[in-house]
Amino acid sequence: MKQVLGEHVHRKYLNAKRKEWNQFREQVTAWEIEEYLYKI
């Protein structure tokens, strides 16, 4: 991927994906609430 996009774009892409992943993992989904909340 780095060879196709170049170093600069590749780095920007990875940073954007890391930010996206961090935002995703901070959210509690409806499925998680339904699956785990009743056990508390």
> How would residue 12 be classed by pLDDT, with cut points 50, 70 and 90?
very high
> Residue 24 — pLDDT band, cuts 50, 70, 90?
very high
Instruction: Return the half-sphere exposure (C-beta side, CA atoms, 13 A cut-off) of residue 36.
Output: 6
Task: Judge whether residue 33 has pLDDT over 80.
Answer: yes
**pLDDT given for residue 26 in this prediction:** 93
Residue pair 15/23 in contact by the 8 Å Cβ criterion:
no
Q: How confident is the model at residue 38 (pLDDT cuts 50, 70, 90)?
A: confident
DSSP state letter for 15? H
Largest pairwise CA distance in the chain: 50
In the chain, % helix, strand, coil (3-state, to 5) comes to 80, 0, 20
Query: What's the pTM?
Result: 0.62
Number of compact structural domains in the chain: 1
15: containing domain = 2-39
Contact 24, 16 (CB under 8 A): no
